[in-house]
Structure 1
Amino acid sequence: MNVAPASAAVVYSEKLWPNVWIWIVVVGISGAGILILAPISMLAGYLAAVGIFLLIAILLLTSTPRIEVTEDTVQVGRANIERRFVGSVEGFRGDDATAQRGTRLNGLAYLCIRGWIGPVVKIDITDETDRTPYWLASTRRPEKLVAVLTGRPPQSAS
């Protein structure tokens, strides 16, 4: 794994932030802190709710992966590879994306999947020294990522 030089121009960047419904769930879980500790003290309940919310928010935000493509490298989450080792690239939506994450998944594939993002991109790896056959990554813009990695204009979503 190589790190991109600071001077490499970024041609694609995406941060896989949690969706709004994830934050609604976090608020609901935090609210449970009030219900659990209210019989003891309302203040303790409110403090627990704030603490739980802050803890989960920090965990979500610090674990949010980035997809970044430069002229020389591709980074998906913690994985980095030189673009010369990128083979075919395909984007999937709907049932096809679900199948890629499930029944069609190779156990040796590198995964950077977020449950709140439906579409995925499959990036074949051609490095013979790497046992990983492909990367499978969640993305909100699969057509654009495929276009950047293949050099072809984006195809419309199906």
Structure 2
Amino acid sequence: MSSHPSVRHRERLWPGPFGWAMVVVATAVAAVTLSPLSRTAMVVAAVITLAVLILGILLTTPTVAVRGGELVAGAAHIPVHLLGRARVIDRAALHVALGPGSDARDFALVRSWLPGAVVVPVLDPADPTPQWLVSSRHAAALAAAITEAQAAHSEQIG
């Protein structure tokens, strides 16, 4: 979370333990693969592999935020006044929401290793997206931030 007044919630959806373990394994594989050549090749391979993988994670890990009157999920954003009531769901409910019978028009920023998510309907009749599904480590805090931002928007126009 940020102390800036327009930021009500902010988190990065970093990989889980399995993702980080895969970074370590890939680094070790690169090192072992080049170890017959020389110790220097092994170390260089490990350092380059580790650097590339960490840079890749830094560049591709999305941010989820409620700021400036918008819900931001990765590169997507939508004004909170166009959203309905945010609802927290657990992993099982998210699985159902994404499973057979789900609406392909839903926006989903989902990370399977996270324990929960927020579902929020889109109320804008011009928007073909019926709802947003957004993973979060702090789903209750994300839902509360959306609700707060909606209330703040209502106070501004009311």
Per the shorter chain, which TM-score range? 0.7 to 0.9
Give the alignment partner of residue 33 of structure 1, picking from 20, 26, 30.
30
Task: Return the alpha-carbon distance in structure 2 between the equivalents of residues 58 and 104 of structure 1.
Answer: 37
* Preserved contact between residue 10 and residue 66 of structure 2 (Cα < 8 Å): yes
Q: Could you tell me how far 1:71 is from its partner in structure 2? A: 5.5
Structure 2 counterpart of 1:105, from 102, 105, 118: 102
Gaps of 5+ in 2: 149-158
The 1-side partners of 2:74 and 2:99 are apart by 20
1:10 to 7, 21, 34: 7
What SS does structure 2 have at the residue aligned with 1:58?
helix
C-alpha root-mean-square deviation of aligned residues, in Å? 2.0
| 2:136 pairs with 1:139 | yes
Task: Give the structure 2 partner of residue 24 of structure 1.
Answer: 21
Shift of 1:138: 0.8
TM-score for the superposition, normalised by structure 1: 0.81
Partner of 2:113: 116
Query: What is the Cα deviation at residue 8 of structure 1?
Result: 6.5
**Which position in structure 1 is the counterpart of 2:43?**
46
* Residue in structure 2 matched with residue 80 of structure 1 by the alignment: 77
Alignment: residue pair count:
145
TM-score by length of 2: 0.81
Structure 2 distance, partners of 1:61, 1:34, is 22
Q: For 2:10 and 2:101, locate their aligned partners in 1 and report how far apart those are by CA, in whole Å.
A: 27
Distance of aligned partners of 1:71 and 1:46 in 2 relative to their CA distance in 1, 3 Å threshold: closer
- CA positional deviation for 1:21: 3.5
**SS of residue in 2 equivalent to 1:121:** strand
Question: Greater helix percent: which structure?
Answer: 2
In structure 2, what is the Cα distance between the partners aligned to 1:40 and 1:105? Answer: 52
C-alpha displacement at 1:59, in angstroms? 0.7
Q: Which amino acid aligns with 2:59?
A: T
Q: Which residue of 2 aligns with 1:96?
A: 93
CA distance in 2, matches of 1:49, 1:75: 35
Give 3-state SS (helix, strand or coil) of 2:140's partner: helix
Letter in 2 for 1:17: W
Compared CA separation, residues 48 and 104, structure 1 to 2 (3 A): farther
- AA paired with 1:78? A
**Structure 1 stretch displaced more, 129-138 or 88-97:** 88-97
Identity of aligned residues (%): 26
User: Could you say what secondary structure the match of 1:56 adopts?
Assistant: helix
State which of 44, 63, 67 in structure 2 corresponds to 1:66: 63
Decide which moves more: 127-136 or 14-23. Answer: 14-23
